[in-house]
Structure 1
Amino acid sequence: MSTPDNTPHLPRRKRSARLSLAMMGASAFGLSACGQPEQTTDVSFDSPRSYQSVDECVAANVYTQSACEDAYASSLEQVPRYTSIEQCEAEHGEGACVAPTEEQAQMATGGSGGSWFMPALMGYMVGNMMSRTSRGATSQGLYQEPVYRNRQNQGNWNAATNQASQRISQRQQTMRNQATQNRQATSQRSGFGSRSSARGGWGS
């Protein structure tokens, strides 16, 4: 598949706060109730799909247009940013970096532009995430990963998507490890409470 010359285009729009939280995993780790943090105890993922544009994502008829647009915007937020093109190219290779368009800058930072640079975006990957909390609640959201140029893939789409898949795998493992720690912490707290109750009974 050939590398597109243009980055995906979509109208400026305010993303759904609910979907953004789900995509970034914040809903899995940051919710609280009654002053007690609600921790994630299980996380599962499906296999992400890669797209070279928002239009391609919509045409695949897997996600809604809104989800495709939101995932693209969140992917832009995750693209590495540098203060100079020299700094960017030192990391990603000569000719691999560009200044963001005004639209990309708006979606990535919420600003109208700025003197920063990023590796040329080639597309993005989108997948589903299901999480379960310590209170038994479940939530489903999207996760995403930008696909961009660097010195290892030299702008090759397949190589770039492989690298994006590796980054997703690392993220998934981190989230699973965190979920395991949270599950163990929840179990320990439950056990401590039971032991405390038992000691109270012994002394009565």
Structure 2
Amino acid sequence: MDTASNSRKRTRFIDLSAMRKSFSLKPLTLGVAGVLLSACSSDRQEAVVYTDLEDCTRANPDAVSQCEVAYKSALEEAARTAPKYRSASDCEYEFGPNQCQQVSSSNGSFFMPFMAGYMVSSLLSPRPYYQPMFTSYSRNSSYRYRWIGADGFDYGGYNKKRFNVSKRAFEKKPAVTRTISRGGFGSTVRAKSSWGSKSSSKGWGG
């Protein structure tokens, strides 16, 4: 099945200030039956990538509130940390047709890829760990159908959903405030040094 055809979305315009208001966090309920996820060691923990809110709630019907908080928070983090492009064509060259959105901010407008999924750990805790995930659907990209974290970490193929990650995977990443040109995504990812093998706590640039 062609993943790209099922995941494409129309380019659209969003307002970050309005999104921040609508995505304010709500208190979580506790005591949900065990679903996810126990830490494997003091520094490692299991995590799952969900493609959207429905994917999370379908897998965890007793943890709907936690799924919602993680999803909305990841969307905010995606807007803050995603690679930014000057034009739709540059963004779509990297991520594929109809995979980018125009965003308005105090610094002007730019184009960024849609969040392709979100990684969640400790879903049953009062505040789940989360981070946005991106992927490319472009034939021009060596990161086509691969999960890429908010800092550029390459987690591997898009079909893989469960990971054992460092707790640092969920540390807050620097905001991206500058735009990059066509080809910037791949070169930025390749330049990462690692937590384990391919990544750092740096962002896409800013």
TM-score, length-normalised on structure 1?
0.44
* CA radius of gyration, larger in: 1
TM-score, length-normalised on structure 2?
0.44
